Amino acid sequence: MLSRNNPPITIRTYQPGDAGYVAYRHGVLYGREYGFDHVFEKYVLQSLSKYLEDPTKGEIWMAEVGGVVAGFIGLVEIDKNTAQLRWFLIEPEFRGIGLGRRMVDTLLDYCRQKGYTQIMLWTFKGLDAALHLYQQTGFTLAEEKENHEWKDLLIEQRWDLALKY
């Protein structure tokens, strides 16, 4: 979706330093856009730390536009058949150019290569663009629950996708 005048999008896998950056941008952006505090940042850091204990059980992809990090998405293995989509964020200035779709497609291709049959994710009501993307790619709402840990009256949602080969 980028025009000829825009720099190309590069999607690369995890490099040292990326996990800290992913946590930092989640803390800053979710604080600014949704009023989350340090508790959410701690949650993100804990999940990234767990990933770093065995990075062979998943992957993190970083999208760069003209050498600037524009977004990222991750995946962790739950079991040999199931993976969880994690840490999906597109920087505000890069939203609406098809980057989110490219990131999700990269993740789905990886899941198919690894033989996963099920992907799940947790998100929350109010992330309309992301929820629309998940629906477009075949995810279905599986569960909703209240979460008062990050913000009052937050409704968390679990979305599932059965991969077809």
Q: Tell me, what's the pLDDT at 137?
A: 95
Q: Tell me, what's the pLDDT at 4?
A: 47
Q: Tell me, what's the pLDDT at 152?
A: 67
Q: Are the C-beta atoms of 157 and 141 separated by less than 8 Å?
A: yes
Determine phi and psi for 12, rounding to 5 degrees: -125, 165
Q: Tell me, what's the pLDDT at 165?
A: 73
Q: Are the C-beta atoms of 91 and 22 separated by less than 8 Å?
A: no
Q: Which residues pair with 62 in a beta bridge?
A: 12, 72
Instruction: Sketch the domain layout of the chain as residue ranges.
Output: 9-162
Tell the CATH topology of 9-162.
Aminopeptidase (3.40.630)
pTM for the structure as a whole: 0.91
pLDDT averaged over 10-residue windows placed end to end, the chain, 165 residues: 67 96 97 91 95 96 95 97 98 94 97 97 90 95 84 86 89
Residue 122 CA to residue 32 CA, distance in Å, equals 20
